[in-house]
Amino acid sequence: MVNNLFKHQDWFKTIVKAVYFDQENREKALDSLIAMKIVSYPITVEKTPQELNFRNLLYKAIHAQTDKDTLNFLDEYLRRWYDGLRKTG
């Protein structure tokens, strides 16, 4: 899916602008995804907002040291994804 997004630079640029301009709600998982394509993109050091805590697992998956750890974090992220989004409204 990420590779698909990268192929559509017009979409990607729009998403990057939206994420970057929303400084109040920046979080490291989305910043890390963007940084996969734009190496110099800054990854926020701010704590992830409580309602988005389920995304910390995505951040951990992106930065995991082994494939096994990546898959474990992704598996747990996907288990919590629906409920996490539902709680954000």
Q: Which residue has the tokens 């989305």?
A: 30
0.85 exceeded by pTM: no
Question: What six digits make up the tokens of 83?
Answer: 């409920």
Length of the chain measured in residues:
89
Classify residue 8 by its DSSP letter: -
Classify residue 38 by its DSSP letter: S
Report CA torsion sign: 3, 78, 20, 66: negative
Tell me the CA end-to-end span of the chain in Å, nearest whole number: 24
pLDDT digits (tens, 9 = 90+) for 49-67: 788 888 899 999 999 999 9
Report, as an integer, the average pLDDT of 12-24: 81
51 and 26 in contact (C-beta within 8 Å)? Answer: no
Q: What's the maximum distance between 2 C-alpha atoms anywhere in the chain?
A: 34
